Each structure stands twice: as C-alpha cells, then as structure tokens.
Amino acid sequence: MCVIRAVLLLVFTVSQVRSNTSPSIRIGTFNIWNVMFNWKERLQYIASVIKEQEIDIIAFQEVRFSTDKSTGLIISQLEEVKKYLQSHKWMVAQPAGPAGKPAHAYWKEWDQEGLGVLSKFPIRHFANINITSERGKDPNSRLALHVQIQVKEEPQQVINVVAVHYSYAKKQQCQNTQHILDYLSSTHLDNIIMLGDFNAYPEFSGPVEAFIFPEATSCEIKLPYVPLFRDVVLEKRGSDPKAPLTFSNMPSPGLVSRPDRILVSPSIKEVNYYIYGHGAPYRNRFYSAIVMNRVESVLRSAVDSFLGKAGYSCLHDCGPHGSCRCGVCVQGGNELNCNIPECEECDRGSFILFIVILFPMLLSLVLLMFFVIRTLVVSANFNQEDLFAILGYRCCLFNAKLFRYRSLPRTLRSVLGRASVLWRLPPLPMVLVSLTVSTILSFLFMMSFLENFKYIYSILPEELFPSDHLMVVAEISLLDY
C-alpha cells in the first residue's frame, strides 16, 4: 500500500511540474562571420541547420548591412537567410555602425555591421541599447538589441530577448555590461534571455560573471538590482563543469574559448543545449560550390580590371595565413597580396586573352558535338533531313529561304551561305577536325591560365568552415507561477 501511495505521489509531482512549465522553445545564437568566405554557400548551410534543428528564435552577430542600389533602402544579410526560412516570418536587424574595410578596397557593399534576430513567433517590440564604450582601444560602435517576442497567445506569454556583441577589449567589456545592467534595472523586464557573442576570455570572465555571480565579478562597475541569470550550458553540464568551447571553429588556433553564451533569468527553465556548425558537414556538402564561387570571383575581378577599376578585390581581409589575389584568398602567407589591375592572372590582358581563347574553344566543342550526332545518325541510316529539322537547320540563320531574302545585303547573303555549307560537310572527318581543334584550344587555355587554376584551388583551411564560431542552441521553457 505504501508503494502504491509513493508511486501516485511521484506521478502527481511530475504532472504538477509539467503543468507549471510551457512547451519548450529552441533559441540560439550565432556569429554569422559577416561577409567572410563564400557567403552564398554559408547562408544556405546556416539556413539548413536552423530548419533541420527546428530552432524557433536565433540571434545573429556581425550582421552586415548594405544600401540597395535600386530602392535606396538598407538591407541586411538576414534578409537573404530569411528567404530560405519560410516559417521565420518575423525579423529585426539593426546596424551598430560602420564596418571595417581593407585598405584600398574599391567595393562599397556591406559597409555597416550590427545585430539581428529571426523568429517564428511574432515580434511585438524592439529597442536598441547603446553599449558603445567612450574610451578604449576598440573604436567600433556597439549595441545590444532588446526584442520582445510573444511565444504564446492564451494565456499571453512574452519573452525578452537581449542579443549582444561585446567589445574585444577587456576593460570595455565591463562598460558593455554596465550599460546592459542599467537598462535591465530601468525596464524591470521578466522572462529574459540574454545571448550572443560576449567575446569572453578564459582568463577574464568578469563581464559575464556580473550577471551570474555579481559579487565575484572582477569588473569595477555599479551593480543595480537585476535578477540573477544562469548560464544554460553550465547548468546542463551537471557534474562536469567544463563547458564546450565555441571559438575558434577552425584548424588554427582551434577551440580556445567560449564567447558564445545563453543566459536565462529565474522565470525560465533550461531543458537542454546543443552545439552546431562544425566544419566537416559544411565542407563535404559545399566544397564543389566553393571552388565554383572562387572561379566566379576571379572572373569578376578580371572584368573589373578590364573596366578600369583598381584596388583591393576581396570583400574581407584574408588574415595572417592568406593573401588576396583576384577576389579570392590564397595560401602562402600574407605577402602575396596584390590589388587589381596589378595581378597578372586577372589584369586587362588576361581578360582579353580569356575571351579570345574561350569563344573559339566553345564553338569547336559545339561543332564536335554536332558532328558526333550527325555521324551516329548517318551510321544508323536515319534521314539527315529529319536531323536538320530537329536541330533547327531549317530555321533561323540556317533557313535556306533567308539567304534568298532580298532585304539582306548581297555580301551578308554570300558569307552566311558559305558558312552554312559547313553543316553539310562529311561528318566523320569533321569530328576529327573538331576534336583536334578543341584539344589544341583546351590545352592552350589550360597553359595560359595555369596560375589562375593554381590560385583557385589554393583554398585556406578556414575557408572550409561556416563560421569561426559555433552555433549554440538552448531548449528552454517558461515557468508558470
């Protein structure tokens, strides 16, 4: 009888706990890495992770902003991510200030940087919190973004998401924390989730500790009364206090710190946490697309050189391990940098040579394919006239009536007439001729642009990662009191 009572009491207790919590929500934070390497491929990967892992709300740092040339409106990278996420109907993105550009960069896009939030739930209100430090070695403007999100209608439940991106300078991080504490103290918010890139260092955790253990913080700041926060990852590690590192997500220097945090106020229960964004899945899925993107970048730089543009052609600095050449970062240290049109592999002459070789090569390949088909048709005893009709020989420039049309100049009629004879030459000899010409031109193309192919495949190891940060996701629920 006692056992039955104990079981009933346990079931009642569990049901009470469940009734006091709302359905769980997945909320994440991710440093989007601005417009570093292969943004088109990275955004597809980021969107796929959000969709596959069913992340309801996600805050982004290092979001770039640009002015749309056609409308004059400011657009952000998140609008491109949102196109892949139909269920995330609500978005807010705010620039903090100008973004750094490499010296002599001639491009004008993505010239501001800030924060953003995507949500499946309605965003009811948002506010910018200016956390810029007035003095220090970090000159960048900084803001925190307060976003009020309604996660439930009946009864109405609202969470207050505070997305942050702290300064990299330690003293200024303390000032960032002071600004946020003052804001929380003045607004008396509840159901707070503070998350983002705190730029926390293993040897200097004071700015984050001010929210969790205010008495132990090493920052010299005023501590107004605010609810004590809990670090979701630390809470769920249990007996193993060593939390997973999230920066830097690349071979060198490797994972050395945990700047990406999710902190929750007392009214929120942490259920679990997840880490996403490692390099292997991204590399396996997008390697071919990355190579093609590098080909496009080199061609775009060659076109820019031909059009008379000059300067640094990459959208970002290539770091200490790479150099920018023709719009792509290449291995070999940072001493191989060159601005267009000074790069030999994408200067004006290279572009002209590319056009001169490419079009005859493509034409020879088209002719080769045509004469191979003709040879197969003839050997199969098909009617050649039917083949000509299928391939459009009787229309457009190959229509015999066109050459008898009086409005065409006699010279043009003569040239087109002579050219059309090519299509009726014996197919097998023309296969050999086309194959020989195609082979010679292809060899000439490869030898002329050998240096280009070398740089296209000289991919930096860090380019094969979706970001230098990992994505941190927390599964949380609201306590109903």
Closest CA to 131 of 177, 93, 97, 184: 177
Q: Is residue 356 part of a domain?
A: yes
Tell me: do 263 and 289 sit in the same domain.
no
Which structural domain range is residue 119 located in? 18-277
What percent of the chain has a predicted confidence (pLDDT) above 70?
84
- Helix/strand/coil percentages in the chain, nearest 5: 40, 25, 35
Averaged pLDDT of the chain:
86
Question: Is residue 11, in this structure, part of any structural domain at all?
Answer: no
pLDDT of residue 71: 84
Same domain, 105 and 249: yes
- Asked if residue 343 and residue 260 are part of one domain, the reply reads no
Calpha distance 256→262 (Å, rounded): 18
Question: Any idea what the CATH number is for the domain that residue 72 is in?
Answer: 3.60.10.10
| Shared-domain flag, residues 377 and 243 | no
Q: Are residue 309 and residue 246 in the same domain, yes or no? A: no
Residue 63 and residue 161 share a domain? yes
6-48 pLDDT, tens digit per residue, is 444 444 444 444 445 678 999 999 999 999 999 999 999 999 9
Residue 12 lies in a domain: no
Point out the domain boundary residue: 258, 277, 296.
277
- Residue 104 belongs to a domain: yes
pLDDT tens-digit readout, 270-313: 999 999 998 899 999 999 999 999 999 999 999 999 999 999 99
The widest CA-to-CA distance across the chain, in whole angstroms, is 112
Please report whether residue 473 resides in a domain: no
Range 426-441 average pLDDT: 85
116-160 confidence digits (pLDDT tens)? 999 999 999 999 999 988 778 898 999 999 999 999 887 779 999
Number of domains making up the chain: 2
On whether both 157 and 167 belong to a single domain, the answer is: yes
Q: Predicted confidence band at 382 (pLDDT cuts at 50, 70, 90)?
A: low
Are 283 and 271 contained in the same domain? no
User: What are the residues whose beta carbons fall under 8 Å from the beta carbon of 385, sequence distance 6 or more?
Assistant: none
One domain for residues 163 and 282? no
Q: Does the residue 327 lie in any domain?
A: yes
Q: Is residue 138 part of a domain?
A: yes
- For residues 63 and 173, state if they share a domain: yes
Tell which residue, 100, 96, 98, 150, has the closest CA to residue 121: 150
Comparing CA positions, the residue from 78, 42, 57, 41 lying closest to residue 196 is 57
pLDDT tens readout for residues 168-210: 999 999 999 999 999 999 999 999 999 999 999 989 989 999 9
Residue 480 lies in a domain: no
Cα–Cα distance between 75 and 83 in angstroms, integer? 13
Token output for 137: 């070695």
Query: Which residues make beta-bridge pairs with 75?
Result: 66
Domain boundary among 219, 244, 277: 277
Q: Do 310 and 287 belong to one domain?
A: yes
Which residues lie closer than 8 Å to 58 by C-beta, 6 or more apart?
Answer: 27, 28, 29, 30, 50, 117, 118, 473
pLDDT score for 185: 94
Domain match, 427 and 342 both: yes
Chosen domain end from 261, 277, 293 = 277
pTM score of the predicted model:
0.82
